[in-house]
Amino acid sequence: MRLTVVHSALLFDGHSVHENATVVFDSDGGRITAVSTGSSTAPFPSGATIIDGKGHSLLPGLIESHAHVHGLHLPPGSDQSDILRSPLRSGVTTVCDMHSDPDSVHKWREEIADELAKARSSKGTVTLSDLKSSLYGATIEGGWPKPIVLGPHPSDELKSFVSTWPNVTVESAPEFVKNHQANGADYIKLMQENCCSLALPTGAIPVATLELQTAVVKAAHAAGLPVVGHALSVDMTEVVLKAGADGLTHTFIDQPPPQSIIDLYRQTGAFVIPTLTVLSSLTAELQDVREKFAEIAGRKEIVNDFTKQNMVEVIGMKDPAAQLDYAFQTVAKLKQEGIDVVAGTDAVAGLKGTAIGPSLWMELELYVEKCGMSVPEALNAATALPAKRFGFNDRGVVAEGKRADLVLVKGDVTARLQALWEDEGIVVVWKEGVPAAL
């Protein structure tokens, strides 16, 4: 057992703020062994690594609840090694993939496990965030996001790749879920898109029916898997909620929040992952905010030059009536009504306006600056709350027996969120008790 002690820190445990905290964790076992607050005269464990946390904040590793770990948006031959490295350097210890091919997910998981084992045996560092995944979403014949990925002039290779995606039907829903669970899916992702919020004709692609989505949800819940669903408009959100999904992977931008949708959220107990970062790229708004975080990420060498430039570009394909402010209104209203808001960005390597890791900083700032959240509420949305809603019972909070996924930040991040990325910012990240290479 190799123990590390962080003492005299301001602790955000995922829920509450505690002064003068001491946290002890085992780098070999990867678990937190003790948490205490207030003054103590008890000696530190013999042989432990001692870290003075005075003037610092300690919090759980952040959870990015909506990203993608494939390389489809990168130029051919691009280096994909930063896909899970940039988030860890940003304090993100868990990335939730929301639609990627199983081969990519399995490759990453093997690399993650191998790296951790080697770091423990050599007392070295880790570079990769942990990975949760839906594997492929429950796509349908010709449905979202197949037309977008293929584009106007798809290569034969891309067409062949997309042809391997599921074509789920009501009849095949149980087998789809069974196979996904056997292949390591942590949850199931629905796709519900009719393009009415996009610069495409409404109904331009096949749209999943309520009957189909209900069948997928029923099969997933019978297997003990949570279900989340893509929707960018009010009518599509209604379908996902009525199907019984546990959460939405975006909020809508086609209109202000109708009370009927707020009521439906409350009745179903579903949560929302707003993805304001990607929505701002979709609507081509908040350019100054994108530029700010791109500059910070580049200066801290969290992203490479390609990704820094990519962060300031925009998707820009919204329907003329769509507005980002509708998303701000919706998130604020849902929060006021007690609906769980879980932090996620829809960041993808090469997707304009995003970068996995730094995009979560932008997302959290928008919750505070545009949606009326307090800083602790925003931090809760990226720690304890996603862990609870996705059933990740081993992480998301700083408590005895939980994973030692921890972030040490210079200053009081609970009073000033910007301490995460400004000035010295993140000082140390531990994943399962092993320090990250920052």
Domains of the chain are 62-98+100-133+249-394 (3.20.20)
Give the separation between CA 46 and CA 167, rounded to whole angstroms: 58
Q: Which of 179, 207, 203 is nearest to 191 (CA)?
A: 207
Token pair for residue 414?
């609970």
Q: What are phi and psi of 37, to 5 degrees?
A: -130, 155
The rounded distance, in Å, linking the Cα atoms of 311 and 88 is 18
Two tokens, residue 271: 């949560």
Axis-axis angle for helices 173-182, 210-222 (nearest 10)? 40
pLDDT at 30: 97
- Coil/strand/helix, residue 298: helix
List, in sequence order, every residue forming a beta bridge with 348; answer none if it has no partner. Answer: 68
Query: Tokens representing 231?
Result: 């929707």
Peptide bond into 145 cis (omega under 30): yes
- Report pLDDT for 155: 84
Q: What is the pLDDT of residue 43?
A: 83
| 3-class secondary-structure state, position 243 | coil
In sequence order, which ranges of 373-424 are alpha helices (DSSP H)? 375-381, 384-390
**Taking the CA of residue 198 as centre, how many other CA atoms within 13 Å lie in the half-sphere pointing to its CB?**
18
Residue 127: per-residue pLDDT: 98
Q: Read out DSSP for 313-359?
A: -----B-TT--HHHHHHHHHHHHHTT--B-----EETT-TT--TTHH
Residue 264, classed as helix, strand or coil, is helix
∠ CA 315-327-421, nearest 5°, is: 70
For residue 135, what pLDDT is reported? 98
Take residue 87 and report the two structure tokens written for it. 């988030």
Distances (CA, A) of 154 to 100, 138, 159: 18, 22, 6
320-343 residues labelled b (16+ CB within 10 A) or e (exposed): eebbbebbbbbbbbbbeeebbbbb
Contact between 174 and 217 under an 8 Å Cβ cutoff? The reply is no
- Averages of pLDDT over runs of 10 residues in the chain (438 residues) are 95 97 96 90 87 98 98 88 97 98 96 98 97 98 90 83 94 98 98 95 94 98 98 98 98 98 98 98 98 98 96 96 98 98 97 98 98 98 98 98 98 98 97 96
Predicted confidence at residue 7, as pLDDT, reads 96
Contact between residue 360 and residue 62 where contact means Cβ atoms under 8 Å apart? yes
pLDDT number for residue 351: 95
pLDDT attached to residue 72: 86
- The pTM for the full model equals 0.97
Quote the pLDDT of residue 139: 98
φ/ψ of residue 145, rounded to 5: -100, 25
For residues 429 and 408, what is the distance between their CA atoms, to the nearest angstrom?
Answer: 6
Q: Provide the pLDDT for residue 39.
A: 74
Contact (Cβ atoms closer than 8 angstroms) between residue 335 and residue 327: no
* Phi, psi (degrees; rounded to nearest 5) at 102: -55, -35
